[in-house]
Every structure is written in structure tokens, then in C-alpha cells.
Amino acid sequence: MLNIVIADGSKERAVIQAMRDRAASANQAIELAVQAIMENVKEEGFPAVERYTRQFDHKIPYEISREKMDQAYDRCPKELIAALEHAAANIRAYNEKLLPKSEVWTSPDGGKVGRLVRGLTRVGIYVPGGTAAYPSSVLMNAVPAKVAGVEEIIMVTPPTDNLNDAVLAAAKIAGVDRVIAVGGAQAVAALTYGAGFIPKVDKLVGPGNAYVAAAKRLAYGQLDIDMVAGPSEVLVVADETAEAKFVAADLLSQAEHDKLASAVLLTTSQDLARAVDREMIRQTGYLERSEIMECSVRDYGCAIVCPNMEQVISLANEIAPEHLEIVTREPKKLLPEIRNAGAVFLGSWSPEPLGDYLAGPNHVLPTSGTARFFSPLSVTSFIKTMSVLQYDRSALEPVKDEIIALARSEKLTAHANSIQVRFE
């Protein structure tokens, strides 16, 4: 099941390239279709949104009442509500620790300078419908926005026949202000430009299909977005001390997402790689999404056996995975060497699903190597900052000539004059 690659300088490079190529941008047909939807919604407003919703979902957009959200919450099993509440509390506590504070201090010149932190005014959250209903994603997107002080959170989700109770319950728990049954590129367009009762937002976050991803790319600039996420991925770094059945289970937990998901083991032990392969075959035999896992592992999964841990870490940083598990004798010792990863999980008892659901850090993470420059979604994704300056005469006077000299060097005499007139 698991292709075992002995690193030789070229075979492992082919694996890395395959991981990146699988997340190629949407094809031209999708881009053109989405561009037309975006333009029509911009020009026509809500009638275009309604027309596309009828065409694609055979429904009309509508707002879900608070009463229906409460009913969905009440229908959910108590143990599920308890788990959602626990997860929300952990996400909230984690993001409260990360929230930057407004602060003003005295500069070396004696003036007052600082930073003001403000939450965004309105944020949209896209939640897929149908079988891809993830209440955990509602919490991961909405709770940090609430902690940031976002004034209004608008959640959109396709108008399926039966909206998922757990998704609506999670929206209630997270403090979502409005839930609107509308999906696809037309939902992105409505939140970008405003359409009827659907308001435009400052930022749009959340996963979606290729059409939603293309629409988010086109919307960027009119609003901010979290990222255009590719297929899910996990990279497990392990040595001979790792428990094969744990590693196999964690690789399969990502492979079950979809056929494009990538599950890769980097190890110094060929024996471990073989044992993990046997375990993956055994565990797949009793898991429900075996066909998806088998396709994912066959096409985008493998074990790469390296001669030493230095090469393992070098490859891990080059891959820059969404999820990175370090399952070695002393995993914490390797942490200073990790430069590129969405989230790092240390040790045998920190499996990736812990981060997906409950621990507190976000599961909205950069994929396809973008962890080289993107960060996980968090409270800082939903704030903006403003600089603040306050000098009095005694602070400005000692530096006035330097400002004037700089302004004149750039031939901006009005800038120089703005300083000079204050001391004539």
C-alpha cells in the first residue's frame, strides 16, 4: 500500500513535486465560469445570486432564523454539544493568549508612538454543505473572529434539503450573528459586493470546492481572504522508536479526507517504514473510507527513508507541510530546527486529529508548501492595526531639521514646509 522510497537525491524530489502539482490551480474552464458569475453578481446584485442558486442548487437563498438554529442545537446529541463547547472554550482560550493589545509608548525622541488594534467590522465564513459538513471548521473560523472583536460574523452555506444540525449548533456556540443559505461562487460574489439582504464583508474565510476557491482568488483585493487551501496533507517525521500502528493511523487520518490528500512518512528506519505499511493495510481493512484512503496513499502517499535525521529535517522544511508530526525519541529537541510547517505535533500522544478538533490551535492551515510564508488562521487574521503618533513642540523641535533635510532630498518641498512653518 505504502510506496517506500530510499532517498537518493532524485526520487524524493519527485515525491515533493507530485505533492505540489496535485494542488494545481483551477482549470481555465472553472476560472472563466467563476469570472462570469462574479461580474454578473457585481452588476445585477441579488437577482443574479438567486438565478445562480436556482441553477446550481435548485433552491433560493434564504436566511436561517435564530429559532431554527436553537432547534438544531437541541436536536444534537448531548455528548456532541459537550464536545463542541469544550473545543470552543479551548479555541477561545488559545486565541485570547495570541490577541495583540493596543499600546502607546515614548519614542527615543520623546514623542508618543504606538499601535491601535481593532477587530474587522464584518467577516464572512463559508461552510461547505452536503456530505462535507464540518462543525469543527465553524468553530475554528468563527471563535477567533469573535475574540478579535469582529462586530458581525455572516456564515454562508449551500441551501441543501436538510441543513446539518451540528453545523448550525456550532454556529450558535461560536456566536455567529447571521446564517444565510447560499453557496458556491455566487455566495462569494454576494459577500464581496453585497447583494440584497446579503451584506458585503471585509474578509472571507473557510474552505470550499474549486469554484469557491477560484471565486476567493478573484475576490481578493475587494476583500481579504484567509488563503486558497489545497488538498490536506500530513508529514510524519519518525525514528526507530516510533509505534508503527500510531504512525499508520495518523497517516490514514489525513488520507481519508479525499483522493488528493497526501500522507508521507519521513524516517531513518526502513524497518519502521515496512511496519507502517503493514499497519496501514490492516487498519484500512476496518475503516469506512477505505477506497478514498487507498487512492490517496497510492497516488500521493509514501515513506521516504533517509540516511540520517539531518536529511529528514531538511526535506521536512522543504516540503513545508500543513501538518507535521515529530515522533522520535526526543521530539522537542528537533523543534528548533523546524522552519516551515502549518502546525507541529510533538510525540506519540499528540496525533493530528487532536489539532483538528480540540486542543485550541487552528486547523485552518497553509497547504502545498505555502507554510514557507503563510501562517495558521488565528485571532490575528481578524484584526487590523493603526499606527498612532503624538509629538509636542519639545519633541518635534530637535528633529525638525532632519525631517526637512529628508523631505528636500526627495524634492517634496511641501513636506518640508509643513515642518518649517511651525517654527517660524
Average pLDDT, integer, range 355-384: 95
Is the pLDDT score of 231 beyond 90?
no
- The answer to whether the 4-23+230-360 and 28-103+122-225 domains have the same CATH topology is yes
Q: Which amino acid is at 315?
A: L
Helices 184-193 and 28-44 pack at an angle, to 10 degrees, of 40
C-beta separation of 63 from 181 below 8 A: yes
Say what the pLDDT of residue 321 is. 94
d(CA 121, CA 270): 53
322 classed as catalytic: yes
Q: For the chain, what is the mean pLDDT?
A: 94
d(CA 377, CA 206): 10
- In this prediction the pTM is 0.93
Strand order in the sheet with 112-119: 103-106, 112-119, 383-390
198 phi/psi in degrees, rounded to 5? -95, 115
d(CA 42, CA 231): 30
Extents of the domains making up the chain: 4-23+230-360, 28-103+122-225, 393-423
Confidence of residue 274 (pLDDT cuts 50, 70, 90): very high
Q: Does domain 4-23+230-360 fall into CATH 3.40.50.1980? A: yes
Say what the pLDDT of residue 162 is. 82
User: To which CATH superfamily is domain 28-103+122-225 assigned?
Assistant: Nitrogenase molybdenum iron protein domain (3.40.50.1980)
Say what the pLDDT of residue 339 is. 97
Predicted confidence (pLDDT) per residue in 5-43, tens digit: 998 888 888 888 877 777 664 578 889 999 999 999 999
Q: Where are the beta strands (DSSP E) in 57-196?
A: 62-64, 103-106, 112-119, 122-126, 152-157, 178-181
Predicted confidence (pLDDT) per residue in 394-409, tens digit: 999 999 999 999 999 9
Is the pLDDT score of 117 beyond 90?
yes
Burial annotation 63-94 (CB, 10 A radius, 16+ → b, else e): ebeeeebeebbeebeeeebebbeebbebbbeb
Say what the pLDDT of residue 402 is. 97
d(CA 140, CA 378): 8
Q: Which of 141, 87, 149 minimizes the C-alpha distance to 118? A: 149
Of 50, 233, 279, 322, catalytic: 322
85 classed as catalytic: no
Is the pLDDT score of 207 beyond 60?
yes
Using a pLDDT cut of 90, give the percent of the chain over it: 87
Predicted confidence (pLDDT) per residue in 43-99, tens digit: 999 999 999 999 999 999 999 999 999 999 999 999 999 999 999 999 999 999 999
Is the pLDDT score of 258 beyond 70?
yes
Say what the pLDDT of residue 363 is. 95
Of 323, 325, 352, 363, catalytic: 323
Q: Which residue has the higher pLDDT, 207 or 379?
A: 379
Using a pLDDT cut of 70, give the percent of the chain over it: 98
